[in-house]
Amino acid sequence: MLPTENKPYGGRYELIQKIARGGMAEVYMAKDQLLDRPVALKVLFPELSVNVSFVERFRREAQAAANLSHPNIVSVFDWGEAENTYYIVMELVEGITLASLIRESGRTDPYKAAAIAADVASSLSFAHRHGVIHRDVKPSNVLLTEDGQVKVTDFGIARAATADGDLTQTGAVMGTATYIPPEQAQGLAVDGRSDVYSLGVVLYEMLVGKVPFAGDSPLAIAYKHVREEAVRPRVLEPEIPEALEAIVMKAMAKDPDARYQSAIEMRDDLQRFLNRQQVAALADFDPEATQALPLIDSNMGATHTELIRTAPISRVDNQDRGRNWMLIGIIVLVVLIAALLLGAKSFFNSNAPLPSATATVPVPGVVGESQTNATATLANEGLKSSVTTKTSNESSGTVLSENPTAGTQVKKGSTIALVVSSGPQKVSVPNVVGQTIAAAESTILAAHLEPNTNYVNNPAPVGTVISQSPAGSTQAPTGSTVTLGVSNGPSQVLVPNVIGQPLAQAANNLGSHNLTMGNVTYQPSASVPNGDVISSSPASGTNVAPNTPVD
């Protein structure tokens, strides 16, 4: 049964049918009667509304989410209180959830999975730059429209929910634990890299058809996220491209410092994969270093387990054993005699140099340092260096990797290969002035840049881009921000009260408020003197555009 019968929910929304139910709320298809448009109405369960701190967090997060305008984020139109609970009004997305796609299709084509993940990363990057961390990235919060567009939802209640979340609970928390980053599972601070981890788990599930960690309880799953290494995707599905596996494992690194440091970094690497370019994740990727051994399933046949067998000892082996021991004894005796002679020579001739091994040193860690400091550090250890450069989001001159890696023992005089950042790759900024905000944002995202929207009062049509920075046709680093000035329509003015004023005075009053006098209709009145105003439309106190005629 719908929450209300025969009356609009919240005084405005006509509920049509229930379309989903989650751990915190029910979602309805509804119609906004004021704006005459379809919407999705998420109604929180009433028991959540009794928690005062939850309600306050929910209010703040819903307001923050309502300010996120991005092609890959489900828009939040409104929120409010009705019937002893709270609700959020969102755009209605026609399509399916990513969870449904995985459930119905199993494994997803690697390139399709990478494209979906890239769009999700783009939405997360935009939210992070506006101070919103999702905290609950999972397939059921990723919507796929009928025309293939990716939209991420629930940027508003995740923080409110997780603040009171308890990993001893089941249901909705079980789903969250499946994608929870280690730091969140341990109750530590989270940031944008936490969303990167969860997206890595989602991409893993798309590629393999199952999640990396499963368990009987949320606590068991969360423990595995903290303590266990995931089986690499190519161990389970060898046809997955190695570059895409590297992206997954970098995103799912236990240590946030070892992950992509931002969602835009992950988005850019996914785009490089889709463009058949070298991905950054492969630079420090070793597919054997932490590869988990596959568990032996009781249902597997013997062919799945490689057995080590001891070869049988033959009679010839037994017959030769005595001769072998004699040969070993002779060799040992020769070595001892040589050692004694060498020792005697050294004893009687103190000037004779003792044989010594070539000196080795550990490779110092220089990743993250400037090229100048890195080469100086290596030189101090008696090591040489070679340098190659590559584009990167790191500042120009920063060391990205070293080979051999830090801590490796090498001979003095060895050459350490350094990869140094040449700075972000530059792209041409498209000119989007005059376009609608939706078209402009799509154009900017396609150029591997991030749009940032500022609404200003302007006579241009509402939603039209009136300025941008940097300007079109200039060069900007990949992933950098293009700030758009978007018309919010002309500034509003308040209709003054002209009732009881003579017509001429009323006209002057309207003019001083940047309004014009419209149609004048004369009507008889027993209480108002002849020639005075008895009514106006729009009424006094109404906000209207400048130069609006008042009848």
Q: What is the 3-state secondary structure (H, E, C) of 492-550?
A: CEECCCCCCCEHHHHHHHHHHCCCEECCCCCCCCCCCCCCECCCCCCCCCCEECCCCEE
Instruction: Give the torsion sign (CA, 278, 280, 286, 292).
Output: negative
- Rounded CA-CA distance 49/263 in Å is 33
Strand order in the sheet with 95-97: 95-97, 142-145, 150-152
**Does residue 320 have an active-site annotation?**
no
Please answer whether residues 216 and 224 qualify as being in contact, where contact means their C-beta atoms are separated by less than 8 angstroms: no
> Which residue matches tokens 């609608």?
436
Sequence letter at residue 302: A
Q: Which of 136, 154, 268, 269 is an active site residue?
A: 136
User: In 137-161, which positions are buried (b, 16+ CB within 10 angstroms) versus exposed (e)?
Assistant: bbbbbbbbeeeeebbbbbbbbbbbb
Alpha helices in 421-473 (DSSP H): 437-446
CA distances from 441 to 15, 16, 268, 413 (A): 32, 32, 17, 53
- Rounded CA-CA distance 387/420 in Å is 7
For the chain, give the number of residues.
551
Please answer whether residues 124 and 146 qualify as being in contact, where contact means their C-beta atoms are separated by less than 8 angstroms: no
Q: Mutual orientation of helices 192-208 and 110-129 as an angle, nearest 10°?
A: 170
- Would you give the end-to-end CA distance of the chain in angstroms? 47
What's the DSSP call for residue 423?
Answer: -
H or E segment to which residue 13 belongs: strand 13-21
> Which residue matches tokens 């509920």?
15
139: nearest Cα among 92, 105, 184: 105
Residues contacting 398, CB < 8 A, separation 6+: 368, 369, 370, 371, 392, 420, 421
- Rounded CA-CA distance 393/448 in Å is 13
- Rounded CA-CA distance 403/424 in Å is 22
Please answer whether residues 107 and 208 qualify as being in contact, where contact means their C-beta atoms are separated by less than 8 angstroms: yes
Which active-site residues does the annotation give? Answer: 136
